[in-house]
Structure 1
């Protein structure tokens, strides 16, 4: 059995440790709700309308709720010395770490399969790209953001966009005004000859006078995305290791405290 002073230090350190994560979860939840409720202000802050807002909102809200729940269990279990709460806290951390390790192993071993499925999904999205279809609007917004961020067009090259029905019909029909449709988010990837016309939006379709810019075969997003992953793989690895260390610290402290406190179940009854 550890000394009383060691148990007290562990108890309050675990409480402060989880109190920080409880407030962090509250901030993430509030941020997610702000994105969902007040989209106009959030877009004004970022100065872009191409961020996938629903995805960001659900991600921050989900992480916030989970982090608050973990922080609550850790804080209350440590402060009140409730073994069952510390046990639940420990088990959740174990499942979380196991889930992260499983995802990491699957991504590494199945990366070729993931790349192939991702390629098919993006090409399917390009084929069905339609601003009037609300079912796929979040995916379309995400893809527009990627094309703008990486200054690319299409998955392999911009020619793939000519398979989109709206663009194909516009290009095949006689057009007295001599303009061609193209995705507005592709404009940053075109050469100077095709960027002289004004771009009034960053999502949906825009009109290019004269020649069709999609025939330029500009670089696709596939290479740019994987280059970004390779450039940031060290940062991603460091973040993953940091998260793992934090989880191991929480597991160790909760188990140490759980093993060295008296099994007084009346504490839980009195608390309730």
Structure 2
């Protein structure tokens, strides 16, 4: 590799890691937002240790990405072989972990769906209709995805307000807008005129699965894009590391 190509690779790797640093900061910020925010749809699942763990993982991944990109920048700009080698090794481990996580998630999707069903059914059973942040998030999901319950409308059969009421109540956010007569409420409970609730028959699990099928190309493109970016970083780091003269192996930043 010529000196000009090596210099170009060095600064390209520096800019590459600067972008990764910003990306890691965004991931960490997103994890913090999910953990602290009380308005988004994730509030529906906030009582789940698994969801909180996922938020902590996002924060950890973001922080680790920032640290790793910092090491990559330092190794590239000062041509420190040990840091470039460490950077390459970490990227390789991350890539392997991502592939393993994708395969595991694919083969364990039924377990994930069952866990989500338990969490959301607990939320449905405890739904009091007082317009709390959790209820607003649940109403938002059902209203905008045009679904009712997780598996289906019968998931609401365990709700204590509905069970203990002398009226025929149903969740307003489930109401099929094509059957609405008169005023429409998007939250709390509404009174049904007949035992057959005027709600959507499809559960939110089916709506989410349909959305994923519709947008699978986008999801896979993002996943593959991240993998290719990591692969590019590995190639640049190992090429730069191999072409640094041995006498510069102990090079350290100078004041």
Mapped partners of 1:221, 1:16: distance in 2:
42
1:267 counterpart residue number: 251
1:104 counterpart residue number: 102
What displacement does 1:100 show? 0.9
Mapped partners of 2:179, 2:8: distance in 1:
68
1:6 counterpart residue number: 5
Match of 2:42 among 26, 49, 52: 52
Q: Is the 8 A contact 1:147 1:185 kept in 2?
A: yes
Structure-2 change in CA distance of 1:185 and 1:76 (3 Å): farther
Quick check: 1:240 aligned with 2:223? yes
- TM-score between both structures, scaled by the size of structure 2: 0.76
What displacement does 1:150 show? 1.0
SS of aligned partner of 1:268: coil
1:9-48 equivalences in 2 (<5 Å): 9-27=8-26, 29=28
Structure-2 change in CA distance of 1:35 and 1:91 (3 Å): same
104-113 vs 214-223, which moves further: 214-223
1:94-133 equivalences in 2 (<5 Å): 94-129=92-127
1:153-232 equivalences in 2 (<5 Å): 153-170=148-165, 173=166, 180=169, 182-187=170-175, 190-194=176-180, 196-199=182-185, 202=187, 205-208=188-191, 210-211=193-194, 214=197, 216=199, 218-232=201-215
Q: Is the 8 A contact 1:159 1:217 kept in 2?
A: no
Structure-2 change in CA distance of 1:58 and 1:114 (3 Å): closer
Q: Is the 8 A contact 1:52 1:141 kept in 2?
A: no
Structure-2 change in CA distance of 1:57 and 1:118 (3 Å): closer
2:238 counterpart residue number: 255
The unaligned stretches of length 5 or more in structure 2 are 47-51
Aligned residues: 245
The unaligned stretches of length 5 or more in structure 1 are 44-48
- TM-score between both structures, scaled by the size of structure 1: 0.72
Mapped partners of 1:112, 1:34: distance in 2:
28
What displacement does 1:14 show? 0.4
